[in-house]
Chains A and B, each alone.
Chain A
Amino acid sequence: MREGESIVRVQGLVKDFRPGFGLRKKRVLHGIDFEVKRGEIFGFIGPNGAGKTTTLKILMGLIRATEGEAQILGHDVGETAFREHIGFAPESPYFYDFLTGAEILDFYARLCAVPRKRRRERVQEVLELVGLGHAADMRLRTYSKGMLQRIGIAQAIVHDPSVVFLDEPMSGLDPVGRKEIRDLVVRLNADGKTLFMNTHILSDVEMICDRVAIIVQGRIAYQGQLDDVEGGGERQFDVTFSSLSPDFAEESEARFEAQLSGRRDCVTLRVSQKHVSELMQGALAHGAIVEEVLPVRAGLEALFLDAVAGKLTGDAK
C-alpha cells in the first residue's frame, strides 16, 4: 500500500442491538461511512453513547455488523489472519493481574506467533518504548492506572503492527499520564504506524490528530482534515506570561486587539499569529517571563458542539 492509500474503509455500516429478550431492535449505527489513510493519526470523536466503541468493536471483530462493509488493509474485518498487522488497546484495559508486565507481553506475542527467539527481545523493546522497562518484573496488580494504560498500548504493538487502534487511550489519566500517552502516539506515528484513536477529549485530538470524523447518534456528522476544521480565519495563540506589568498588558490588549485573561500571577493574551512575535519581544523587554505559547483551535470544539446539537447534516461532510 502507498502513502495516502485507504487503510480502514467503512461503508454503510449498520448495527442493531436487541435489548433484553424483546423482539424490538435498537439501531445504534445508521449506515456510517469513513476511511482512514495510511500514515495518519485519525481521531474518531463523538459524545458518550454516539457509537464510537461499537464501531471500533466491529472493526476488531468483537461484534458483527448488521449491514454494511468494514475493511482493514483490504481485508474484511470478519477475517482473522490479517490481524497480525493490527493492534488494539481497549478502554480501561484489564489484564491477567497475576502476570508480570513482561509475561503478559510474552503471552500476546505468542498469540501473534512472534518467533520465540525474537519474543524476549521484542518484549523488552516495547516495555522500554512505553516507559515500563523498570516494571517488567512487577505483577500487573501492582500497576497504577497509567501503567496499565501503557501496558495496554504495549500489548497492542508487541507484534509490530502497521495499524494501531486505541479506544479512549487517555481516559481517566492525570495530565502527566495523558501527555505521556500523547507522546507515545506521536512516536508510533513517526515510526510509520497508522493510528485510529477513539476519544471524546477534543484537546488531545487537536494536539495530535491529522484527520477526524465526528459521530453523533450513530451517524457521521463530519469528517475531514483537522486543519480544515480550524476554518479560514487567522490562527490564534494564547501567550501566557508571569511578571507582566499591568500597564503593558493593557497597552497590548488595545494594540493587538488581544483578549486578556489572568489567574494568580499569570496573564494570558490571546492574539493572532502575526502579533505573537512582537508581543513576546515587547513583554520580554518589560521584564516578563513567557510561561507558554499555545495554539487556539476553537474550530473543532465549535464544530463538535454544532454536530452534537444537530446543526451539521450529512452534507457537511
Chain B
Amino acid sequence: MRWLSAVFAIASNTCRDAIRSKVLYVLLFFAILLIATSATLSTLSYIERDRILQDVSLGAIRFFGAAIAIFVGVGLVHREVDRRTIYTILSKPVDRSAFIAGKYAGLVATLWALLAVMSLCFVLTSLGSHAPLDAGHAKALALIAAELAVVVAFATLFSSFSTPFLAGCYSLGLYLIGHMTRDLLAIGQTAQSEMARELTRWVHRLVPDLEAFNRSIEAVHGLPIPGAEVAWTAVMGVSWIAGFLLVAVLAFERRDFR
C-alpha cells in the first residue's frame, strides 16, 4: 500500500513536471496541425481521400507520440539525479523501484492524455470530412497507446543509467530497429550466411516488434482487426514493459548518487 502511495505521488508530480515541457507543446502543436491539415492534403488526390486523411492523421499521432515519449522520457530519471531532487525523495521511505515505477507511470499518463487530445482531433477531422469511423480506428488508437507505453519503458530504462543524449540515441535506435525487426528477419532468412540468419533471428527475439502495434493500415482500409490479436499484442507489450522496467530497477538499485 505504501509502495503504491509513493508511486502515485511520484507519478502525479511527474505529470505536473512533464506538462511544463515546451518541447511537448511544440510537438503536440505540430501533431494537431498535421492532423487538421490532413483534410486539405487529402484533397490533392481524386481517389481514396478518406484513406489519405486517416493515414496521415494516424501516422502523425504515432510519429509525434513516439517523439514526445523519447524526448521527455530520456531525461526522466537523469534530470532528477542531475538536479539532486532525488536526494530528498530516496531519503524518504520510498523504494527505488517505486521511484522508477512512479516516473514511468507519470509519463505514460501524460502521453495518454496527449494521445486523447490528438485522437479527438482525428475524430473531429474525420467527422468534418465525412470519413468513416468504426471500431477498427479505436483498436488502432489503443495499440498506439500500448506502443507509446513500450517506448516510454525503454526510454526510462536508458534514462536510469545514462545521460539524456546517449539515452536519446539508444531509444531512437531501438525504436527504429523495433519497427524494422520483421523486415530484418525476412531479409536475414534469405541470406546465404547462417550467421546472418541467426543474428537476425536473435534481433527479432531481443527487440520489441513495434510493427505489431501498427494496425493503421487495417483501420484505414476498413479491414478487420481481430480482438484476439489486439489482446495478444497488448500482452506482448505488457511483457516488454515489465522486462524493461525490471532491468531499469536493477540498474537503478546499483547506482550511487554521488
A108 contacts B by Cβ under 8 Å: yes
Q: How far is the CA of A94 from the CA of B81 in the complex (A)?
A: 11
Q: Which residues of A contact B94 (CB under 8 A)?
A: 80, 83, 111
Q: A110-B5, A111-B92 are in contact. Are A88 and B13 (CB under 8 A)?
A: no
- Please tell me the size bucket of the interface on B: 20 to 34
Q: Which residues of A contact B16 (CB under 8 A)?
A: 96, 98-99
A29 contacts B by Cβ under 8 Å: no
Q: How far is the CA of A90 from the CA of B13 in the complex (A)?
A: 20
Besides the known contacts A60-B87, A94-B84, 4 further A-B residue pairs in the complex with CB atoms under 8 A apart: A62-B87, A112-B92, A113-B6, A159-B92
Chain A interfacial positions (CB closer than 8 Å to B): 17, 57, 60-64, 80-84, 86-90, 93-96, 98-99, 107-108, 110-113, 152, 155-156, 159, 165
Q: A80-B93, A99-B16, A111-B93 are in contact. Are A63 and B257 (CB under 8 A)?
A: yes
B258 contacts A by Cβ under 8 Å: yes
Contact A107 B95 (CB under 8 A): no
User: Which of the residues A17, A94, A108 comes within 8 Å of B92, measured between beta carbons?
Assistant: A108
B88 contacts A by Cβ under 8 Å: yes
* B166 CB to nearest A CB, Å: 14
Q: How far is the CA of A83 from the CA of B94 in the complex (A)?
A: 8
Q: How many A-B residue pairs have CB under 8 A?
A: 84
Q: A88-B87, A90-B84, A96-B85 are in contact. Are A63 and B92 (CB under 8 A)?
A: no
Contact A83 B91 (CB under 8 A): yes
* A40 CB to nearest B CB, Å: 21
Which single residue of chain A is at the shortest CB-CB distance from B17? A96
In B76-122, the 8 Å CB interface with A consists of 83-95
Which single residue of chain B is at the shortest CB-CB distance from A161? B92
B9 contacts A by Cβ under 8 Å: yes
User: Which of the residues B13, B20, B91 comes within 8 Å of A62, measured between beta carbons?
Assistant: B91
Contact B92 A83 (CB under 8 A): yes
Contact A84 B85 (CB under 8 A): no
Q: How far is the CA of A26 from the CA of B90 in the complex (A)?
A: 25
Contact A94 B93 (CB under 8 A): no
Contact B95 A80 (CB under 8 A): yes
Closest 7 CB pairs of A and B: A88-B91, A110-B9, A63-B256, A83-B93, A60-B91, A62-B257, A111-B92
* B226 CB to nearest A CB, Å: 43
Q: Which residues of A contact B130 (CB under 8 A)?
A: none
Contact B256 A62 (CB under 8 A): yes
Q: How far is the CA of A155 from the CA of B85 in the complex (A)?
A: 12
Q: Which residues of A contact B22 (CB under 8 A)?
A: none
Contact B9 A111 (CB under 8 A): yes
0/1 interface trace, chain B 2-13, chain A, CB 8 Å (1 if under): 100110111001
Q: Which residues of B contact A82 (CB under 8 A)?
A: 93
0/1 interface trace, chain B 143-168, chain A, CB 8 Å (1 if under): 00000000000000000000000000
